[in-house]
Chains A and B, each alone.
Chain A
Amino acid sequence: MSQSGSAAAAVSLTGIVKRFGGVTANSGATLTVAPGEIHALVGENGAGKSTLMRILAGTLSPDAGAVSVDGRTVTGWSTPEAIKAGVGMVHQHFMLVPTLTVAENVVLGMEPTRGWRIDRTKAITEVAALSARTGLQVDPTALVADLSVGEAQRVEILKTLHRGARILILDEPTAVLSPPEVEELWRVLRTVRASGGTIILITHKLDEVLSVSDTITVMRAGTTVSRFATAGSTASDIARAMVGRDVLLAQDTPAPAPRTVSAASSAPALRITGLTVRSDRGTEAVRDLSCVVYPGEVLGIAGVEGNGQTELLEAIAGLRAVRAGTVHLGTQDITAQTVRDRADAGLSHIPEDRHRRGLILDYSIADNLILGRQHHFATAFGLETARIAAHAEEQVRTFDIRPPMPSLAARALSGGNQQKVVIAREMGRAFTVLLAAQPTRGVDVGAIEFIHAQLRAARDAGKAIVLVSADLQEVLALSDRVAVMYGGRFSTVLPRAEATMEMLGRFMTGATV
């Protein structure tokens, strides 16, 4: 590991330790950033990147270690101190107040005043000027609640720059952007760098790292493990450092043996016709979408997050109202059925957020293993506790859930084992169609392999699987056919053999055939 922290470093973090309750987020992380560079901080989900940067930005205080900025020791400083010293962070979840205007959000905390009142005119002029100077186009008088995700991000960056940030931290800024918006963002960042700013970019996407950064620091399991100059590094160097061993990148993975399924040889397990679904904000998230999935195949859905994947799966699962169209499971029309009836009809669902939907964290493993099927474990005289316990014992053994204590609360398990509980429940029973949303998000490498093996085994056993993943490599590694979702529609559906990352990337921007 490089330890070249010179006095001239813009940022230097050494030996940072941070714990949250039982979870260690950082264990001795060290980072040095030179002034005027774009520095990529990369690592898998849960590697501790965001925590480390929140410590730098003053949102969190480290349990051990030292932080210095421009050669000055500032360990444990507060957000206002960080802002004053020119360190600003653009959070992954936007820190904007939806009921205030763009200008109000930008000046919040340092409002220009005239007497006791806020000088609104001045605020708007200032924001408009900054907007023009940086190329971050947005209407200062608009309500933040009315902005698109991309616009909201621009407001976030404006807000940080308005506070005089010279060291700008961006946490996964591209997760919500389409490729053209990403290009636009890179242009802004290069402008900032050209005017003397330093940028730290948190990401787990290797292509971004290679295209925009000057230097790379890799984090794994809470600590920093390597530092590279971008020039001369390859994707596989970085990937190896990220996971701690040689990995087969998806480009190198052989495509799964193509499965020859045709409408003639078998009836579809899942058929969606003209489906239209609204988002929480009332916009059309899924527009007139039709597709079929056959038994024994994996349909992978790629796409930038927020293009309707979540709403699509929720609608199929019965968690979101369908505005138009139908969903058939086999020959049965399930469009108007309850969640419970769909499950009984053979639909399984691994939800994208196990902490919110997939598990009841304060319920025991045993109780979580019957969630959604509680009516099969109850009589008129109450729950069948003995059967529930026996069922749990068996599932815990089959799916290797650790620690193997069915009475333990799900909250006490690691992310990987929590996901195994969900997988055990959804795949350890009779089903014909499985919806798998982000099945490996936030789980460790060992669990990822286990989950991938389970999904492949289910496919080989003739199940139909719809896989949604933000990870293109995962989609390519598991799917028989790949669909790309853009703006609520499939912009393409390809056999796996014909799909390449480059091609998918193009469709993700909305290109059509």
Chain B
Amino acid sequence: MNGIAFLLQTMRIAVPYLLAAGGGVMSERVGVIALGLEGLMLSGAFGAAMGSHFGGNPWIGLLGAIVAGLIVSTVIAVATLRFKADQVVVGVAINLMAVASTRFFLRLVFDSASNSPRLPGFGGEGAMSGLLASFANPVVWLGLLSLPVLHWLLYQTPFGLRARAVGEKPEAAASVGIAVPTLRLSGLLLGGSLAALGGAYLALDQHQFTDGMSAGRGFIALAAVIFGRWEPRRVAIACLLFAAAETMQIQLQGAQFVPSQFVEMIPYVVTIIALAGVVGRSAAPAALGKPE
């Protein structure tokens, strides 16, 4: 097997994880549990399909994804920040809502139960050339840059310092005049947009929206956030590891050394193990899940 091809495919598979996990890090670092990543990705994919289809241009697709992400994160923000609804319940509801409403609107807008028509995407097609061509795709670069940029944002800028303070001890942040709800809102909106871009990548890469196309990637991203201890650089490594496992599974499909189901389990199992031992509770932002 070609090492470079392996690396390229891993990166390509990692892109949606990197974006969604970036969204997860942002959301959880300001103290809101990111259970809705799956729904955000799916909504983002649908938004991208709408934008790309009606705008006739993948860039408008990206805009559509961001709009979808902003709408969904606003719902999350209103429920959890304004009304202090339980964040786990809201996350589950958002995921159900995304599945149901993308299907509903798929029928309303594209009159199909399963997929959108072919969409304008980035780059060309074809097998191996497509693999390389995907690096002409700006979303790939967004994905590769998202977590390093997030690291810089969280650890080098005033916004990041404040965000970390808010997620760790909101009352302390409030006592020095930081507007905690506003900061959390901006974290959620930023995070939601990132996760939605992760979804957009899927729709634009496959040149169509298909029903349920996020396919659990939001949860793998969440696993990466936890496995990476909420630190952008570690989270990026977790995303790449999970993507590498997936690539291996695809490449080994014919060989059947290990049933594919066991490879699928890897991200979840290592996260459970990490939660039970290595990571522990202390690594999570202290105010995670608590309304102010």
Tell me if chains A and B make direct contact, with any CB pair below 8 A. Answer: yes
- Cβ contacts B273-292/A at 8 Å (1 or 0 each): 00000000000001000000
A113 to B171, CA, bound (A): 24
Task: Give 1 or 0 for each of A76-88: 1 = CB within 8 Å of chain B CB.
Answer: 0011100100000
Q: Do the beta carbons of B176 and A79 come within 8 Å of each other? A: yes
Tell me, yes or no, whether A108 is within 8 Å of chain B by CB: yes
Q: Which residues of A (90-116) have their CB < 8 Å from a CB of B? A: 91, 94-100, 104-105, 108-111, 113, 116
Residue of B165, B169, B172 contacting most chain A CB atoms (<10 Å): B172
Closest to A83 in B: B177
In the complex, what residues of B have CB within 8 A of residue A356's CB? Answer: none
**Given A99-B164, A111-B161, A118 and B156 touching (CB < 8 A)?**
yes
Q: Known contacts being A97-B168, A109-B162, is A91 close to B177, with CB within 8 Å?
A: no
Q: Which residues of A contact B162 (CB under 8 A)?
A: 108-109
Query: Cα distance A97–B171 when bound, in Å?
Result: 9
Contact B177 A97 (CB under 8 A): no
Tell me whether A279 is interfacial, beta carbon within 8 Å.
Answer: no
Q: Which of A80, A118, A163 contacts B157 (CB 8 A)?
A: A118
CB distance from A246 to the nearest CB of B (A): 39
Contact of A326 with B by CB under 8 A: no
Task: List chain B residues, Cβ under 8 A from A496.
Answer: none
> In the complex, are the beta carbons of A95 and B177 less than 8 A apart?
no
- Within residues 164 to 200 of chain B, which ones have a CB less than 8 A from any CB in chain A? 164-165, 168-169, 171-178
- Assembly CA distance A113 to B175 (angstroms): 21
| C-alpha gap A108/B175 in the complex (Å) | 10
Q: Is the CB of A95 within 8 A of B176?
A: yes
- For A59, the chain B residues whose CB sits under 8 A away are 174-175
Which residues of A are found within 8 Å of B174, using beta-carbon distances?
59, 79
A98 touches B176 (CB 8 A): no
Is there an interface contact between B172 and A113, defined as CB atoms closer than 8 Å? no
A97–B165 contact, CB under 8 A?
yes
Contact (Cβ within 8 A) B168 A108: no
| A104 touches which of B161, B171, B177, B178 (Cβ 8 Å) | B161
Within A126-141, which residues are at the interface with B (CB < 8 Å)?
none
List of A residues within 8 angstroms of B161 by Cβ:
100, 104, 108, 111, 118
Q: Which of B157, B164, B171 makes the CB contact (< 8 A) with A100?
A: B164
Among A94, A100, A113, A159, which residue has its beta carbon within 8 angstroms of that of B165?
A100
CB distance from A94 to the nearest CB of B (A): 8
Count how many pairs of residues, one from A and one from B, have CB atoms less than 8 Å apart in the complex. 64
Residue in chain B with minimal CB distance to A80: B177
Q: Which residue of A91, A105, A117 contacts B156 across the interface (Cβ within 8 Å)?
A: A117
For B171, give the chain A residue with the smallest CB separation: A95
Q: Are B177 and A78 in contact (CB under 8 A)?
A: yes
Residue of B nearest to A163 (CB): B176
Please give, as numbers and ranges, the residues of chain B lying within 8 Å of A100 by CB-CB distance: 161, 164-165, 168
B158 within 8 A of A: yes
- List the B residue with the shortest CB-CB distance to A107: B161
Given A97-B165, A97-B169, A109-B162, check contact A83 B176 (CB 8 Å).
yes
Q: Measured between C-beta atoms, what is the minimum distance from A282 to chain B in Å?
A: 12
* Chain A min CB distance to B283 (Å): 10
* Chain A interface residue count, Cβ-Cβ cutoff 8 angstroms: 26
Chain A residues within 8 Å of B177, by CB:
78-80, 83, 109
In terms of DSSP, what is the predominant structure of the interface of chain B?
helix
Does A422 lie at the interface of the complex (its beta carbon under 8 Å from any beta carbon of B)?
no
B175 A95 Cβ-Cβ under 8 A: yes
Cβ of A89 < 8 Å from any Cβ of B? Answer: yes
Q: Which of A96, A118, A163 contacts B169 (CB 8 A)?
A: A96
Q: Report whether B164 and A96 are in contact in the complex, using a CB–CB cutoff of 8 Å.
A: no
Residues 339-368 of A at the B interface (beta carbon under 8 Å): none
Contact A108/B156 with A91-B175, A95-B172 known, Cβ cut-off 8 Å:
no
Check A98 against B168 for contact (C-beta < 8 Å).
yes
B residues less than 8 Å from A108 (CB atoms) = 161-162, 165, 172-173, 176, 178
Q: How far is the CA of A78 from the CA of B178 in the complex (A)?
A: 11
Query: In the complex, which residues 117-173 of chain A have their Cβ closer than 8 Å to any Cβ of chain B?
Result: 117-118, 159, 163
Q: How far is the CA of A111 from the CA of B178 in the complex (A)?
A: 12
Q: Chain B residue with minimal CB distance to A104?
A: B161
A355 to chain B, nearest CB (A): 17
User: Chain B contacts of A110 at CB under 8 A?
Assistant: 176
> In the complex, what residues of A have CB within 8 A of residue B157's CB?
116-118
CA gap between A441 and B175 in the complex, in Å: 27
CB contacts (< 8 Å) of A118 on chain B: these are 156-158, 161
Quick check: A109 and B169 within 8 Å, CB to CB? no
List residues of chain B with CB within 8 A of the CB of A116.
156-157
Chain B residues with CB below 8 A from A97, complex form? 164-165, 168-169, 172-173
Can you name the residue of chain A whose Cβ is closest to the Cβ of B156? A117
Contacts of B164 in A (CB 8 A): 97, 99-100
Query: Which one of A94, A97, A110 has the greatest number of beta carbons of chain B within 10 Å?
Result: A97
Taking A100-B161, A118-B161 as contacts, is the C-beta distance between A109 and B173 under 8 angstroms? yes
Residues on the A chain within 8 Å of B171, using CB: 95
Collect the chain B residues with CB atoms within 8 Å of residue A95's CB. 169, 171-172, 175-176
| CA of A187 to CA of B143, assembled, Å | 55
State A163–B177 Cα separation when bound (angstroms). 11
Which residues of chain B have C-beta atoms less than 8 A from A163's C-beta?
Answer: 176
* Complex Cα spacing A117 to B152, Å: 9
Name the CB-closest residue of A to B176: A109
Contact with B along A60-79 (1 / 0, CB 8 A): 00000000000000000011
Report A108 CB to chain B, min CB distance, Å: 5
State which residues 223-270 of A face B: CB under 8 Å.
none
Of the listed residues B158, B165, B176, the one surrounded by the most CB atoms of chain A closer than 10 A to its CB is: B176
With A108-B162, A117-B156, A118-B156 already in contact, the answer to whether A89 and B168 are too (CB < 8 A) is: no
Q: Quick check: A96 and B172 within 8 Å, CB to CB?
A: yes
Chain B residue at smallest Cβ distance from A93: B171
| Distance from A378 Cβ to chain B, minimum over Cβ atoms (Å) | 32
Q: How far apart sit A99 and B168, CA to CA, in the bound complex (Å)?
A: 8
Interfacial chain A residues near B173, Cβ < 8 Å = 97, 108-109
CB distance from A56 to the nearest CB of B (A): 14
A100 to B158, CA, bound (A): 13
Chain A interface residues toward B at CB < 8 A: 59, 78-80, 83, 89, 91, 94-100, 104-105, 108-111, 113, 116-118, 159, 163
19 contacts between A and B (CB under 8 A): A59-B174, A79-B174, A79-B176, A91-B175, A95-B169, A95-B171, A97-B173, A98-B168, A98-B169, A105-B172, A109-B173, A109-B177, A110-B176, A111-B158, A111-B161, A116-B156, A118-B157, A118-B158, A163-B176
- A95-B176, A99-B168 are known contacts; what are 15 more A-B pairs with Cβ within 8 Å? A79-B177, A83-B177, A95-B171, A98-B286, A99-B286, A104-B161, A105-B172, A108-B172, A108-B173, A111-B158, A116-B156, A117-B157, A118-B158, A159-B176, A163-B176
